[in-house]
Chains A and B, each alone.
Chain A
């Protein structure tokens, strides 16, 4: 056997493999060349009869042939396999995709997440408190005297003479102040209850976020700065705002914060009752009576407090016009967000 012959075999192999177009034919080729009685296998068998001095050189040639032929074979094989799976005539790519179920957080949760993340960035801690509260924490400690019309501001569900469903998350302020010493910078999200007739605008239960900051030199100016920063982060930079005097028993002075109605941009529409403004929260400087109730020295410490309703914020932000939809838990509503 000479190199010429090996070259000839290689040439034929190359031609044959070139013409192959199915895996059946390829299998035929494998048997022809690589099986026990295949052409290339037999060449190795014949190596025994080659003279000793020629053996190394010839063996090397044979090995090269086998390696290269095998490589070609494998290349062809993978080409055919991929070609078969790419056979577009058998595929309908337009079939609908298979469904992966994904869960969703309630829109109120998502709104609260956003509020929490802004206040966390401003250095606030987050505290929890009970929903079934005592009259003391919900009213008395917050400077709502008994038999005072201020109590009418929050229609209350009672479970006994001295226990009730909290009407705001503000009682958590007292719970924090009882346990900790200033500086305190915290927000208190949670569920609250009001004994109000259920309608598209009000429900017997909703969610609030209260906040406080108490330290030695806290001013109304800082309250304003902090809430303006919140409003800009939540509602958008460049938005106009105003603070109006208001009344809450636990703050003095008290204020309400309005922002330009972002639906009509201040021109006046149904949502802002044609005033151009939307009220987003109540706030003020912590009342000295509240400090007295938790044994803080109101000459040493000052503080601010604020509170906002999450439903209201979510309704404004997402254009929801009926508060009841939050609590119906219609899957189609839950999945929207």
Chain B
């Protein structure tokens, strides 16, 4: 909201307080000044200059050499303007000045051999108009050296204030002035009404009926007859343009002026266009069409509160007027509406119509229901002063449900307890009085006060405490240095996730954070996705059903940028829909998942190794390392599936007691095409909650072996169909308990060992936690094992 400081000064004396103090005070007491424009600062260095001499430039026909007196010294200035004359007062920019339009600095230069020490400005260069035909000539009575901003009356400061939604009272110049009056403890001057009314009673000219009494609790109006629509006087136009509004005509300008002065939206109807001169406030019973002031036809939903005349709809209540009753050049008689509309009603309509105006903005936040008469009187007075005419006697004031002033008690001990310091009762009283909050009863330890109707946000004691804190200044609240800490009841929901992140990074994975909002065609790939009802775009219209589908776009992007070797992970939530529409938490599942993704090369080409690509066994090994850090490696078992599906070429799962804890494998090339990825990608996705639940019972110290291990290696030639895991399981099953570990250390196929054969070599570790094993007992066990393997798998032992 734009606020003019000069305008504010119509209602409060701010003498002796600097602009910076005012701006800082507003920000520090609840009306944040986001930005401001100090007009005077824009013209720093530009003063009234008196042209003392004008001579022809010796070396250029179109240039003159002037002597300009700036109040202190005489300056040699080369000027190119045709209208410069001796004795003129001009806008003179001295050396070092930044010219507002070009943002360039004036420097001492030589122009065709003649030194120039400044510049005489045009209106265009000062951004006062587009006129660049010549220099700006100022009034003769100005004295040289006067700041141009002062000479031109351009000393306003325009502030952009971010008013929070709870403060409708501050959406006007009076409102901001009221806060300043409390902050600086100065009087607020509310304009006096001095109405010159005719003898003709308003009832002769118009009537108002409120049918929708709930959404329109009050409708006040005045009538002015015989006025003349014309351009507004300068003072009014200047006020509006200073805050960025475009003047239209004297009547409309007054209504806009009042809106920004008082915060009460007004509407002026051409009374001669109001059928039967009758205003009816009612909500539409069916949907319809309506053409607003801006000549746009709008669809009105059923239940829209409208201002109607004897026949037609003439305005959308609280939002915008209709073209059919608009004030035009020919208008002679007007009715000024000053109403209070229900905030929710205006907001709903504004949302439905996607139409927000300065009026709707204020009505939906809550205007002052008690002030409609005062405001409409002030409007009538101003309109008469700028447009002439006769103000009909009296006002229309339909007020079916009277607004009541809230009465609230504030307990001073509670104030102290909540803020942590004591505010003196006198200060509390002073703040309340400045804010228009009247003391009803002083009960010693507490105060009973009446809240003005322009403060709908103050409803409870806590709201009053905030007013005291806000106006006193939050700076006064001490920052205490000691706190009480409860030592039991500590909880950290993020501990397990953080542990997973530590493990993942220790394994060389890089963490991603992906956007869970993805397009339907991707979300669909891994589950039944939940749709966003109001998405920004189709690309973000669904929630991810797996981390995979939201991570692969990032993989794809990296590959396109040339980062083809990736080891990535993410921890995040996925969303699966069960029922539609979602009315309850049981209609969907939100689950925390962990994914890791491997693609490209594990080892890049280097002097010490060849390129090796990530493969399925890297993924498996990574999974095992991961689980070993969670002490789940021996708890979970694997199962494999080499049947292609939509997602995987082949996959494996990690299981515990029949529950699947995670799934992963080599992604299907067709699936990857959805993401425009052409290289092999391996991924594994864990259910975090399941991991966490399985772990909670685990994790205890395991004894470190004190006795030597006895190592034996064996290699057999097997049929190709024999699976590693069956041999490993067989070895473990058939050996005695002194065999603790079986590792495959060599695997190959070759012509020498025959077609459809493979050699697998295993390293066996024998040990016991309680004693040293003898070679003999190991050998006995080992020899038996060799025989059993040979017999069971029809395998041939290879030389040691």
CA distance in complex: A46, B469 (Å): 111
Say whether, besides A126-B491, A126-B493, A326 and B485 are in contact (CB < 8 Å): no
- Cβ of B30 within 8 Å of any chain A Cβ, yes or no, is yes
- Rounded to whole Å, the gap between the CB of A161 and the closest CB of chain B is 7
Within 8 A of A (CB), among B372-414: none
Say whether, besides A132-B588, A205-B516, A330-B561, A123 and B486 are in contact (CB < 8 Å): yes
Is the beta-carbon distance between B28 and A242 smaller than 8 angstroms?
yes
Give the residue among B343, B421, B491 with the most A Cβ atoms within 10 A: B491
Residues 548-568 of B, flagged 1 when their CB comes within 8 A of A and 0 if not, give 000100100110010100111
- Cβ of B693 within 8 Å of any chain A Cβ, yes or no, is no
Say whether, besides A147-B347, A205-B515, A127 and B475 are in contact (CB < 8 Å): no
CA distance in complex: A193, B348 (Å): 23
- Cβ of A52 within 8 Å of any chain B Cβ, yes or no, is no
Say whether, besides A95-B607, A252-B462, A123 and B483 are in contact (CB < 8 Å): yes
Say whether, besides A219-B418, A245-B469, A246-B164, A102 and B505 are in contact (CB < 8 Å): yes
- Rounded to whole Å, the gap between the CB of A324 and the closest CB of chain B is 10
Binding-face segment, A14-22, A79-87, A149-157:
A149-157
Within 8 A of A (CB), among B298-355: 343-344, 347-348
- Cβ of A266 within 8 Å of any chain B Cβ, yes or no, is no
- Cβ of A254 within 8 Å of any chain B Cβ, yes or no, is yes
Residues of A contacting B582 in the complex (Cβ-Cβ under 8 angstroms): 159-160, 162-163
Within 8 A of A (CB), among B23-38: 27-30, 32, 35
- Rounded to whole Å, the gap between the CB of B735 and the closest CB of chain A is 37
Is the beta-carbon distance between B492 and A126 smaller than 8 angstroms?
yes
Is the beta-carbon distance between B590 and A131 smaller than 8 angstroms?
yes
- Cβ of A200 within 8 Å of any chain B Cβ, yes or no, is no
Is the beta-carbon distance between A224 and B480 smaller than 8 angstroms?
yes
Is the beta-carbon distance between A99 and B491 smaller than 8 angstroms?
no
Residues of B contacting A226 in the complex (Cβ-Cβ under 8 angstroms): 483
Residues 511-552 of B, flagged 1 when their CB comes within 8 A of A and 0 if not, give 111111100000000000011111110001001000000010
Is the beta-carbon distance between A225 and B474 smaller than 8 angstroms?
no
CA distance in complex: A217, B513 (Å): 40
- Rounded to whole Å, the gap between the CB of B231 and the closest CB of chain A is 35
Is the beta-carbon distance between A159 and B533 smaller than 8 angstroms?
yes
- Please classify how large the interface on chain A is, using the bins under 10, 10 to 19, 20 to 34, 35 or more: 35 or more
- Residue in A98, A122, A195, A247 whose beta carbon sits within 8 Å of that of B534 in the complex: A195
Is the beta-carbon distance between B568 and A99 smaller than 8 angstroms?
no
Is the beta-carbon distance between A220 and B557 smaller than 8 angstroms?
no
- Rounded to whole Å, the gap between the CB of B754 and the closest CB of chain A is 39
CA distance in complex: A149, B365 (Å): 7
Residues 428-443 of B, flagged 1 when their CB comes within 8 A of A and 0 if not, give 0000000000000000
Residues of B contacting A101 in the complex (Cβ-Cβ under 8 angstroms): 508, 567
Is the beta-carbon distance between B512 and A134 smaller than 8 angstroms?
no
CA distance in complex: A105, B513 (Å): 10
- Cβ of B723 within 8 Å of any chain A Cβ, yes or no, is no
CA distance in complex: A161, B561 (Å): 41
Is the beta-carbon distance between B483 and A332 smaller than 8 angstroms?
no
Residues 247-269 of A, flagged 1 when their CB comes within 8 A of B and 0 if not, give 10000111100000000000000
Is the beta-carbon distance between B563 and A150 smaller than 8 angstroms?
no
Is the beta-carbon distance between B475 and A225 smaller than 8 angstroms?
no
- Cβ of B697 within 8 Å of any chain A Cβ, yes or no, is no
Is the beta-carbon distance between B493 and A128 smaller than 8 angstroms?
yes
- Residue in A252, A326, A330 whose beta carbon sits within 8 Å of that of B466 in the complex: A252
Is the beta-carbon distance between A128 and B485 smaller than 8 angstroms?
no
Which A-chain residue is minimally distant from B462 (CB atoms)? Answer: A252
Is the beta-carbon distance between A103 and B536 smaller than 8 angstroms?
no
Say whether, besides A109-B501, A132-B530, A242-B28, A217 and B581 are in contact (CB < 8 Å): no
Residues 649-660 of B, flagged 1 when their CB comes within 8 A of A and 0 if not, give 000000000000
Pair count A-B, CB < 8 A: 249
- Cβ of A130 within 8 Å of any chain B Cβ, yes or no, is yes
Is the beta-carbon distance between B583 and A132 smaller than 8 angstroms?
no
- Cβ of B479 within 8 Å of any chain A Cβ, yes or no, is yes
CA distance in complex: A192, B561 (Å): 29
- Cβ of B608 within 8 Å of any chain A Cβ, yes or no, is yes
Say whether, besides A125-B491, A243-B477, A245-B474, A334 and B508 are in contact (CB < 8 Å): no
CA distance in complex: A128, B494 (Å): 7
CA distance in complex: A102, B510 (Å): 8
- Cβ of A174 within 8 Å of any chain B Cβ, yes or no, is no
Is the beta-carbon distance between A103 and B507 smaller than 8 angstroms?
yes
Is the beta-carbon distance between B566 and A331 smaller than 8 angstroms?
yes
- Cβ of A328 within 8 Å of any chain B Cβ, yes or no, is yes
CA distance in complex: A229, B784 (Å): 71
- Residue in A98, A105, A242 whose beta carbon sits within 8 Å of that of B475 in the complex: A242
Residues of A contacting B199 in the complex (Cβ-Cβ under 8 angstroms): none
- Cβ of A189 within 8 Å of any chain B Cβ, yes or no, is yes
- Cβ of A302 within 8 Å of any chain B Cβ, yes or no, is yes
CA distance in complex: A52, B702 (Å): 61
- Cβ of B192 within 8 Å of any chain A Cβ, yes or no, is no
Residues of A contacting B551 in the complex (Cβ-Cβ under 8 angstroms): 329
Is the beta-carbon distance between A327 and B466 smaller than 8 angstroms?
no
Closest 6 CB pairs of A and B: A221-B420, A219-B420, A247-B164, A123-B485, A103-B505, A253-B466
26 residue pairs A–B, Cβ–Cβ below 8 Å: A98-B606, A103-B511, A104-B505, A123-B483, A123-B487, A123-B490, A125-B489, A126-B495, A130-B573, A131-B573, A147-B347, A148-B165, A149-B165, A156-B534, A165-B543, A185-B486, A191-B573, A193-B517, A205-B515, A221-B478, A245-B470, A247-B166, A252-B463, A329-B554, A331-B563, A331-B568
Known: A122-B483, A123-B487. 8 other contacts (CB 8 A): A96-B606, A103-B504, A157-B532, A160-B581, A185-B485, A197-B536, A221-B478, A244-B27
B interface vs A, CB < 8 Å? 27-30, 32, 35, 164-167, 343-344, 347-348, 364-365, 417-421, 460-463, 465-466, 469-470, 474-475, 477-487, 489-495, 498, 501, 504-517, 530-536, 540, 543, 551, 554, 557-558, 561, 563, 566-569, 572-573, 575, 581-583, 585, 588, 590, 604, 606-608
